[in-house]
Amino acid sequence: MSGYYHQEDLPRFSEMGKNAPDLWKKFAEWYGAVFAEGALTAREKSLIALAVAHAVQCPYCIDAYTQDCLEKGSNVEQMTEAVHVASAIRGGASLIHGLQMRNAAEKVSM
């Protein structure tokens, strides 16, 4: 094995059902329902998925949802803004923990 991530593994995702077919079936049905047109459009859901893919740093998801966003009619400007939303939340999540630091420092300081 030359590395941990392989682009050719992406279309093999369904092989995860080989030893747990019932669980895979449940996951696949739920996944399909999640991304169906609903109160949010399929295009909006795809942009959310792209943002989350960057937050969880999954290269497979980034690949899949970049393609999917384009196939839902989004453009690179919109997709870039979605990634910034994910990045802002990640950055903000780090920064808000700075209050823990300030609280801890305050407690032990004169």
Best CA proximity match to 62, nearest among 71, 50, 73: 50
3-state secondary structure of 20: coil
Cα torsion 16, 22, 27, 29: sign: positive
Residue with Cβ nearer other proteins (2 or 75): 75
Q: How far is the CB of 93 from other proteins (least distance, A)?
A: 32
Q: Which of residues 9-28 bind other proteins (CB under 8 A)?
A: 11
Q: Binders of other proteins: how many residues, by CB under 8 A? A: 11
Under rule CB under 8 A, residue 62 binds other proteins: no
Residue with tokens 């960057």: 54
For other proteins, the binding residues (CB under 8 A) are 11, 41-43, 67, 70-73, 75, 77
